[in-house]
Amino acid sequence: MLVRCSSSERGGQQRSNAAVRVNGAAHRATLQVGAALETSINETLAELSAPLLAPAPATDGRERSRQNIPTEKQAEDPFRQAQIVEGGVRYQQTVVVRSYEVGPDRTATLETILNLLQETALNHVWMSGLLGDGFGATHGMIKSNLIWVVSRMHVQVDHYPLWGDVLEIDTWVGSSGKNGMRRDWLIRGRGSGNIYVRATSTWVMMNKNTRRLSKMPEEVRGEISPWFIDRHAIREEATEKIIKLDSNAKHVDSDLKTIPDQFLQHHQLSSIILEYRKECGSSDVVQSICQPDEDSVSPSENVSMVRGPSLLPEVINGHHSLAGALQQWPTKYTHLLQLKAGDVHEEIVRGRTTWKKKL
């Protein structure tokens, strides 16, 4: 089954099969796709697609400006409980995990974590006094009609924070090749200092009108490079290439639920890498594909107990099912979200996920 992503902004009647949207509605579009996917149980690619593409500002004339954008560098933002530290290169913000940001086990959802990454990144640029439009574009970028888009994201969750936990989120930027920028994050428990989440991302610039990637103009490099530091939240040995899946993959099209429910009951995501290839618009039809690494089964799991005929269906399917806990599941998966338009199914995002048993 496919999910059609529609948007109130564009009118429900309108549908387009264009592979790449070329107007300013990409912001809403991206969020719509995220929301649609989110209703599927598979939270893997779902929640991740939403906040990671840097949204283009609305161009429909109804835009209202963000309040109080500073044109000068700020050292402190008392209401956001944020400060710029380490001579200006590191942004730090304190947040408390809220009641509506957690799942049924009272730990922060992955969506919450990604939201906080987006929020602190934008606030960092905001406090740096570089902000032109509220979406992280600098003044130089706005002059050249450029916006930020994320091309790669790697999030590693060591522990999911609990409802009520006080978190300290640090973020900073560095260089990434000739035309890119790296942004890293660390999320720590304020009391313990324990690291909950590490994340790194790569950003490139896109022309807002042509939707083509752009070189980094010298003016923009001059604006942002003074903030660059060479520090890595995740030590990535060599960047693993994510293979391209096709329709021969094990799970295709299944209502975007490419990770089995039983697996999700007993496992949680510990690492996700996403490589963005294409924009995705509000009326695009998308499809999710997933391939387990069959050789990634956790060696500690006992298979022999599981698939015998002695378990009643009630036990196997029940809320407190042991089957899901005991069944042998791969712990690594490759993912693909692609457009379902015409004969060529263009890739939107490739992903790799790693899962571990819930405690």
CA distances from 190 to 79, 92, 94, 196 (A): 18, 11, 8, 11
CB of 117 to a copy of itself, least distance (A): 10
Q: Which of 83, 265, 270, 354 binds a copy of itself (CB under 8 A)?
A: 265
Asked if 12 is part of the footprint of a copy of itself (rule: CB under 8 A), the reply reads yes
Dihedral angle over CA of 102, 105, 107, 108, nearest 10: -30
For residue 222, the minimal CB distance to a copy of itself (Å) is: 26
Contact pattern for a copy of itself over residues 69 through 88, marking x by CB under 8 A: x---------xxx-------
Residue 337 pairs with which residues in a beta bridge? 288, 349
CA 210 – CA 23 distance, rounded (Å): 9
CB of residue 261 to a copy of itself, shortest distance in Å: 4
Residue indicated by tokens 């006992």: 302
Q: Does 58 bind a copy of itself (CB under 8 A)?
A: yes
Exposed, middle or buried, 350 (CB in 10 Å: 0-12/13-18/19+)?
Answer: buried
Query: Site mask, a copy of itself, residues 224-263, x = CB under 8 A?
Result: ---------------------------------x---xx-
Q: What angle do CA 279, 285, 290 make, to 5 degrees?
A: 85
Which region among 93-101, 137-145, 270-278, 336-344 touches a copy of itself (by CB under 8 A)? 93-101
The reply on whether position 318 binds a copy of itself by CB under 8 A is yes
Q: How many CB atoms lie within 10 A of CB 79?
A: 6
Contact mark string toward a copy of itself, 113..152, x via CB under 8 A: --x--xx--x-----------x------------------
Stretch that binds a copy of itself, among 92-100, 195-203, 298-306, 336-344 (CB under 8 A): 92-100
Strand-pairing partners, residue 102, are: 108
Distance of alpha carbon 284 from alpha carbon 262, whole angstroms: 30
- The DSSP 8-state label assigned to residue 247 in this structure reads T
